[in-house]
Chain A
Amino acid sequence: GAGVSQSPRYKVAKRGQDVALRCDPISGHVSLFWYQQALGQGPEFLTYFQNEAQLDKSGLPSDRFFAERPEGSVSTLKIQRTQQEDSAVYLCASSLRGDEQFFGPGTRLTVL
């Protein structure tokens, strides 16, 4: 069966550009999580959706980061006016209940 997919897999942006990262969760999974992973670190929580409702966005580092899941399936993480410190791997995970999360392959964002 299909797992979690993310696109693009790699994104290079010039500082100041806006980027949009897409996540297609496993069909039927209610919960969807976004994480940021720096090199050599564990994933850090950004935001969490249950269906279309964004229940927690406490991990978003600034108001330049915005996430949505309008129909309770596909989600998009948008970063406005990218900065070099935004360079990282962005991971998406989906889950039925939240305790067993299935991760996508991630999007590697490089901001020049």
Chain B
Amino acid sequence: EDQVTQSPEALRLQEGESSSLNCSYTVSGLRGLFWYRQDPGKGPEFLFTLYSAGEEKEKERLKATLTKKESFLHITAPKPEDSATYLCAVASGGSYIPTFGRGTSLIVHP
């Protein structure tokens, strides 16, 4: 059974204070690891898919990295509009059916 653990549960940052969110996973045959952003009252918004260890992807102030056991979402010089819950998910085997973690709630203060 696939498992995903995200830490910390909540993170408060000052604007411009860089940090990282962690996603530890256990999976039999990784098909893909996904990062989503979710704002209150909305559905998750796709950010990245990582397929193999060593892969990195970037989008604006966000950079996602992947090892065989965990993924990090690095946030560089965050702004208040980066405040959201960040969800990590993994899919294994022959399908893209994801198992989600509980998310990290990020608040960036101006």
Contacting residue for B49 out of A48, A55, A99, A106, CB 8 A: A99
Contacting residue for A56 out of B36, B97, B99, CB 8 A: B97
- A43–B97 touching, CB < 8 Å: no
13 A-B residue pairs with CB within 8 Å? A42-B87, A43-B87, A45-B97, A45-B98, A91-B44, A97-B96, A98-B91, A98-B95, A99-B32, A99-B96, A102-B46, A103-B36, A105-B43
What band does the interface of chain A fall in when counting residues whose beta carbon is under 8 Å from B?
20 to 34
Question: What 0/1 pattern do residues 62 to 81 of B give for CB contact below 8 A with A?
Answer: 00000000000000000000
Q: How many residues of B contact A (CB 8 A)?
A: 23
Contacting residue for B43 out of A95, A97, A106, CB 8 A: A106
Footprint of B on A, CB under 8 Å? 4, 31, 33, 40-45, 48, 55-56, 91, 93, 95, 97-106
Residue from A31, A43, A91, A97 with most neighbouring chain B CB atoms (10 Å) = A43
Footprint of A on B, CB under 8 Å? 4, 32, 34, 36, 41-46, 49, 87, 89, 91, 95-103
Query: Across the A-B interface, how many residue pairs have beta carbons closer than 8 Å?
Result: 59
- A100–B43 touching, CB < 8 Å: no
Given A103-B43, A105-B42, decide whether A42 and B89 contact each other with a Cβ distance below 8 A: yes
- A40–B102 touching, CB < 8 Å: yes
- B100–A44 touching, CB < 8 Å: yes
- B32–A56 touching, CB < 8 Å: no
- A42–B46 touching, CB < 8 Å: no
Q: How far is the CB of B43 from chain A (nearest CB, A)?
A: 3
Q: Which residues of A contact B103 (CB under 8 A)?
A: 41-42
Q: Which residues of A contact B91 (CB under 8 A)?
A: 98-99
- A95–B96 touching, CB < 8 Å: yes
